[in-house]
């Protein structure tokens, strides 16, 4: 009888498992692959970008609703057109890019000159070669573009392209467990022939991801949205606070739990309801739970709050000697001078080459000097702040209290969109507004990736503990 009960339980387990798998595998998302709205958003975005690239000269041979280059199309079994103009233009684009790189290196070079004005001459000659080569490459590429038609290139056949799109979207959604932003990053990478990438989201594809994601959210119904993981906070705070969240953090983070618990009780429903596991994941990435952590630009504590942000939040004792403000000013001047150097470089022509090449080098050298001074002052600040333990940001309880207040405000502003909130926390809310989504900064993209990884790992542990 006992064996019979065990057999029945095993049978029941696999029956239930089979039902779960059948629902998962044969739901509308997996069975039909009907991502109609998402596909429309991708197509509309790609066609807009394609038109702009032709108008502004950034076109590089990509075409169709997938914006495949011919080599990428061929790798997916499509018939694509490649001629001598295409191959020659590709070679010239590479030559132009290298010429521009030589000019930029000469701007920043501090090597002793073999003759007076050597660096300025190299800047002028290299940039003029870049302009000539780029112009030739663009003309050849547009000649190639004019020869494209559906009879010689499947990229212009929408029916074939849609079939490939379906396949790639399914593959990427499966890889990323339906996380839409990451799936779009994966999709873009495959379309551009980038098969190996540490992260689906990169500085090169994030504008595509932002554009398609925003377009989709604006048009999607609830049913459309439910097909994907949109990085939204879906009431996990309440679930985790009543669950085993305190037991999944690990030794390093364990010290923060009583402090965070106290803050959560004090604030109650006054602030946006941030999931404690998400906030712990944020602290882990920001400081690795080191209450004395200080960044190279002055962010400090468990939640890495900058001095200006700390004062805005209401923190009282913030170590800000006069030279810190000078360091911040130097950083802004450094960035501005570097932008001016780039602008001067792109003013170079045959008539004014000596003047603007000289200006671009002088400005770039000035930015390097400003950078060295800025680094020295920030290093001094970091050293003195680590000794000065009176700063509120280095007090764990205060760092958690005000860090949570700041993050809760950002989460509320972004209506629970975790990715945008994390991007705002790292790069600043103004950057998220500027780029209408996640900014194309490696640091911000990595920050978002790691926090979400930690958060999801914590959630899995909490769910396992509950079961």
Residues 242-297 have pLDDT tens digits of: 657 778 887 778 888 899 989 988 876 666 788 999 999 999 999 999 999 999 99
Residue 246 makes CB contacts below 8 A (sequence gap 6+) with 257, 261
Mean per-residue pLDDT for 126-142?
98
Average pLDDT over residues 31-46: 83
Q: pLDDT by residue (tens digit) across 175-199?
A: 999 999 999 999 999 999 887 767 8
Is the pLDDT at 8 greater than 60? The verdict is no
* pLDDT in the model for residue 314: 95
pLDDT on residue 461? 87
- pTM for this model (two decimals): 0.88
Please report, for residues 102, 120, 122, 168, the alpha-carbon distance to residue 113 in angstroms, rounded to integers and kept in the order given: 15, 10, 11, 53
- What is the rounded average pLDDT for all residues in the chain? 90
Nearest CA-CA partner of 438 in 461, 458, 420: 420
With bands split at pLDDT 50, 70 and 90, how would you rate the model's confidence at 238? low
Q: Do residues 345 and 356 lie in contact, with contact meaning Cβ atoms separated by under 8 Å? A: yes
pLDDT reported for residue 243 = 59
Strand partners, 305: 300
pLDDT on residue 241: 61
Q: Say what the pLDDT of residue 300 is.
A: 97
Residue 123 pLDDT class (50, 70, 90 cuts): very high
Q: Give me the CATH topology for the region 231-318+389-467.
A: Lysozyme (1.10.530)
The domains of the chain are located at: 2-31, 36-225, 231-318+389-467
- Distance, in Å, from the CA atom of 63 to the CA atom of 335, rounded to the nearest integer, reads 36
Instruction: Output the pLDDT for position 399.
Output: 97
Calculated CA dihedral for residues 436, 440, 444, 449, nearest 10 degrees? 90
Q: Give the pLDDT of residue 251.
A: 78
Average pLDDT for residues 226-239, to the nearest whole number?
79
Q: Does residue 467 surpass a pLDDT of 90?
A: no
* Predicted confidence (pLDDT) per residue in 352-383, tens digit: 999 999 999 999 999 999 999 999 999 999 99
Quickly count: other Cβ atoms within 10 Å of residue 79's Cβ: 15
Q: What is the mean pLDDT of residues 229-238?
A: 77
Residue 10 has pLDDT above 50, yes or no: no
């Amino acid at each position: 009888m006992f064996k019979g009960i065990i057999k029945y339980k095993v049978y029941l387990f696999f029956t239930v498992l089979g039902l779960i798998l059948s629902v998962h595998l044969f739901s509308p998302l997996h069975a039909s692959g009907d991502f109609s709205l998402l596909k429309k958003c991708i197509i509309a975005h790609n066609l807009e970008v394609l038109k702009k690239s032709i108008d502004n000269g950034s076109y590089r041979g990509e075409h169709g609703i997938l914006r495949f280059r011919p080599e990428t199309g061929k790798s997916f079994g499509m018939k694509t057109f490649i001629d001598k103009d295409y191959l020659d233009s590709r070679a010239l684009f590479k030559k132009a890019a290298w010429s521009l790189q030589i000019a930029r290196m000469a701007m920043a070079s501090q090597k002793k000159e073999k003759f007076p004005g050597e660096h300025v001459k190299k800047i002028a000659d290299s940039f003029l070669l870049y302009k000539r080569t780029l112009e030739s490459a663009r003309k050849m590429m547009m000649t190639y573009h004019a020869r494209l038609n559906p009879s010689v290139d499947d990229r212009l056949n929408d029916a074939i392209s849609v079939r490939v799109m379906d396949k790639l979207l399914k593959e990427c959604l499966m890889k990323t467990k339906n996380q839409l932003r990451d799936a779009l990053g994966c999709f873009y990478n495959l379309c551009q022939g980038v098969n190996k990438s540490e992260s689906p989201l990169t500085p090169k594809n994030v504008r595509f991801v932002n554009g398609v994601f925003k377009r989709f959210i604006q048009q999607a119904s609830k049913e459309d949205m439910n097909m994907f993981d949109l990085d939204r906070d879906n009431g996990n705070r309440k679930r985790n606070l009543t669950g085993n969240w305190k037991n999944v953090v690990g030794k390093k983070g364990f010290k923060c739990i009583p402090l965070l618990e106290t803050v959560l009780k004090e604030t109650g429903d006054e602030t946006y309801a941030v999931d404690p596991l998400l906030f712990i994941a944020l602290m882990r990435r920001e400081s690795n739970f080191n209450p004395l952590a200080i960044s190279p630009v002055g962010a400090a504590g468990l939640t890495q709050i900058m001095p200006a942000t700390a004062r805005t939040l209401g923190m009282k004792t913030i170590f800000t000697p006069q030279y810190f403000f000078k360091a911040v000013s130097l950083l802004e001047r450094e960035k501005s001078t570097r932008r001016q150097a780039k602008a001067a470089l792109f003013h170079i022509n045959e008539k004014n080459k000596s003047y603007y090449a000289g200006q671009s080098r002088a400005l770039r050298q000035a930015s390097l000097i400003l950078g060295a001074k800025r680094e020295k002052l920030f290093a001094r600040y970091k050293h003195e702040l680590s000794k000065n333990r009176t700063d509120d940001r280095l007090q764990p309880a205060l760092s958690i209290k005000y860090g949570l207040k700041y993050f809760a405000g950002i989460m509320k502003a972004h209506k629970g969109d975790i990715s945008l909130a994390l991007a705002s926390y790292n790069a600043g809310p103004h950057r998220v507004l500027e780029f209408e989504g996640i900014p194309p900064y490696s640091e911000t993209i990595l920050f978002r990736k790691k926090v979400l990884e930690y958060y999801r790992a914590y959630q899995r542990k909490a769910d396992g503990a509950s079961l």
